[in-house]
């Protein structure tokens, strides 16, 4: 299975939480994808918390395929973002990029972010 690990799931993994153990199982058994927007969110979190982002970035690059924004993403983004915001008013810009990437890459999203709850391609960490 192809799985996008979003920011919240990576944070759980790096914190060594119970949910992080679940993320670890996905790392072992699946093709892992991480979006550039997730790396940007992790960089923000690392600076705020005093983490060494280089260590996390190197690990993520080793364990997953990092994908950026493609032209096909740009062409489809507006419609998907507007539709997602109709479902969930607080659905964020970064979340929409992750959701769109999931659709384009035919991948599930492993997340703890409640904004994804109810989307068919979301695997919610409990």
Euclidean distance between CA atoms 82 and 96, whole angstroms: 9
Contact 39, 66 (CB under 8 A): yes
Q: What is the pLDDT of residue 72?
A: 79
Q: What is the CATH number of the domain that holds 47?
A: 3.40.50.1010
Q: How many CA atoms lie within 13 A of 59 on its CB side?
A: 12
At 23-79, the pLDDT tens digits run 999 999 899 999 999 999 999 999 999 999 999 999 999 999 999 988 878 888 999
Q: Which two structure tokens, joined as six digits, stand for 35?
A: 């979006």
- Count of domains forming the chain: 1
Q: What is the pTM of this model?
A: 0.90
* Domain residue limits at 92: 2-124
């Amino acid at each position: 299975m192809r799985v996008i690990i979003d920011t919240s799931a990576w944070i759980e993994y790096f914190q060594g939480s119970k949910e992080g153990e679940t993320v670890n199982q996905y790392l072992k058994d699946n093709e892992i994808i991480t979006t550039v927007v997730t790396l940007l969110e992790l960089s923000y979190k690392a600076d705020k918390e005093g983490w060494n982002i280089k260590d996390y970035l190197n690990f993520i690059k080793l364990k997953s395929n990092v994908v950026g924004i493609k032209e096909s993403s740009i062409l489809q983004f507006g419609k998907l973002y507007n539709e997602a915001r109709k479902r969930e008013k607080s659905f964020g810009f970064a979340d929409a990029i992750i959701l769109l990437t999931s659709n384009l890459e035919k991948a599930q999203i492993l997340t703890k972010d409640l904004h994804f709850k109810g989307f068919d391609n979301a695997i919610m960490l409990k």
